[in-house]
Amino acid sequence: MKIASTDTPEGLSLGKIIAIGSGNALEFYDFLTFSFFAIQIGHVFFPEAQTSHGLLFSLATFGVGFLTRPLGGVIIGAYGDRVGRKPAAP
pLDDT digits (tens, 9 = 90+) for 23-60: 889 988 988 888 888 888 888 887 776 667 777 888 88
Q: How many CB atoms lie within 10 A of CB 42?
A: 22
pLDDT digits (tens, 9 = 90+) for 58-86: 888 888 888 888 888 888 888 888 887 77
For residues 61 and 49, is the Cβ–Cβ distance under 8 A?
no
* pLDDT (0 to 100) of residue 51: 63
pTM score, two decimals? 0.54
CA distance 89 to 75: 12
User: Max alpha carbon distance in the chain (Å)?
Assistant: 79
Q: How far is CA 20 from CA 25, 28, 43, 76, in A?
A: 9, 12, 35, 18
